[in-house]
């Protein structure tokens, strides 16, 4: 049924898309009859329209997934091997999770204990952190302090402490968290406006745009994008699947 109606509709569309001279092969009566056939069939079988819409939506979704995966392949080095990105877990791990996050994102905070648990239990796991401060100036401030803290060897401590911080977050809260993990705040503030830090944040934004990351958290695992918060079981399965694919 679907094939028949799509054949009729396709023929109808081709007819009207054809050059003007091609339509001369049909008399006005034939054209009217063709219109009637298509109309009557659709009226009698309205379900085929839903089938056609569903098929078009599924194709569009598949095309988007394929495009995203190609973009991820194109950005392989920037995603997994940028020397300026902060690495967590085993630097030589056999599976890498790339995380785009915002320090003010509640869903990022929801996933953080899961990621920490995975890092503690899976010594072959590697995480690449991508600063993606999309939730306002306080988010950008927190990301800059985080990146500036690397010179003091405090990134991991600050990152975990910020992710553990609940409630409203402004610059005063960020400063308090920084002090709590031993960051020399005066030095961090002096370093945070360095062109290299601004450039790194812009680079992560450009990377997010290239692979169609629109929110936080977002994860890239084994060449695929997974937007939104994920459960422990979901992440474990993806990690296991990635290892199996690598082994095969």
pLDDT tens per residue across span 213-239:
999 999 999 999 999 999 999 999 999
Q: Are residues 70 and 190 in the same domain?
A: no
Q: Are residues 125 and 222 in the same domain?
A: yes
Q: Are residues 233 and 141 in the same domain?
A: yes
**Residues in the chain, total:** 248
Q: Which residues contact residue 52 at a Cβ distance below 8 angstroms, ignoring those fewer than 6 apart?
A: 2, 5, 6, 9
> What's the pLDDT at 10?
53
Q: Are residues 141 and 191 in the same domain?
A: yes
> What's the pLDDT at 15?
47
Last residue of a domain, one of 43, 74, 105: 74
Query: Above 90 in pLDDT, residue 121?
Result: yes
> What's the pLDDT at 248?
61
Query: Above 70 in pLDDT, residue 102?
Result: yes
The CATH number of residue 204's host domain is 3.40.30.10
Long-range contacts of 80-87 (CB under 8 A, 24+ apart): 80/128, 82/128, 82/203, 84/196, 84/200, 84/203, 85/128, 85/129, 85/130, 86/128, 86/129, 86/147, 86/150, 86/155, 86/159, 87/126, 87/127, 87/128, 87/129
Strand partners, 98: 128, 220
When the pLDDT of each residue in the chain is averaged and rounded to a whole number, the result is 88
Q: Are residues 69 and 111 in the same domain?
A: no
Q: In total, how many domains does the chain have?
A: 2
Point out the least confidently predicted range of 43-47, 124-128, 165-169: 43-47
Query: Above 50 in pLDDT, residue 76?
Result: yes
Q: Are residues 64 and 98 in the same domain?
A: no
> What's the pLDDT at 59?
81
Query: Above 80 in pLDDT, residue 65?
Result: no
Helix (H, G, I), strand (E, B), or coil: what is residue 125? strand
164 vs 43, which has greater pLDDT?
Answer: 164
Q: Are residues 130 and 162 in the same domain?
A: yes
What proportion of the chain, given as a percentage, has pLDDT over 70?
90
Last residue of a domain, one of 57, 74, 91: 74
CA–CA distances in Å: residue 65 to residues 56, 68, 162, 164: 14, 5, 33, 33
Full domain range(s) for residue 107: 83-247
> What's the pLDDT at 95?
97
Q: What mean pLDDT comes out for the span 118-126?
A: 95
Q: Are residues 155 and 33 in the same domain?
A: no
Q: Are residues 128 and 9 in the same domain?
A: no
Whether residue 149 contacts residue 158, with contact meaning beta carbons closer than 8 Å, is answered with: yes
- Using pLDDT thresholds of 50, 70 and 90, give the confidence band for residue 23: low
């Amino acid at each position: 049924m679907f094939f028949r109606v799509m054949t009729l509709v396709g023929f109808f569309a081709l007819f009207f898309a054809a050059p003007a001279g091609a339509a001369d092969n049909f008399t006005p009566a034939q054209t009217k009859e063709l219109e009637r056939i298509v109309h009557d069939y659709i009226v009698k079988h309205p379900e085929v329209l839903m089938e056609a819409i569903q098929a078009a939506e599924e194709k569009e979704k598949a095309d988007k997934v394929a495009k995203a995966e190609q973009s991820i392949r194109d950005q392989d080095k920037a995603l997994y091997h940028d020397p300026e990105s902060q690495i967590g877990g085993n630097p030589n791990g056999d599976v890498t999770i790339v995380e785009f996050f915002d320090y003010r994102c509640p869903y990022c905070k929801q996933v953080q204990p899961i990621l920490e648990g995975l890092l503690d239990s899976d010594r072959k796991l590697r995480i690449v952190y991508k600063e993606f401060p999309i939730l306002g100036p306080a988010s950008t401030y927190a990301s800059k302090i985080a990146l500036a803290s690397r010179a003091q060897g405090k990134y991991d401590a600050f990152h975990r402490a910020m992710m553990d911080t609940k409630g409203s977050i402004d610059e005063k809260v960020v400063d308090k968290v920084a002090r709590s993990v031993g960051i020399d705040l005066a030095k961090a503030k002096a370093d945070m406006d360095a062109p290299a830090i601004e450039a790194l944040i812009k680079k992560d934004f450009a990377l997010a745009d290239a692979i169609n990351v629109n929110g936080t958290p977002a994860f890239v695992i084994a060449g695929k994008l997974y937007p939104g918060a994920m459960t422990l079981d979901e992440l474990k399965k993806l990690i296991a699947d990635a290892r199996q694919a690598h082994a095969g």
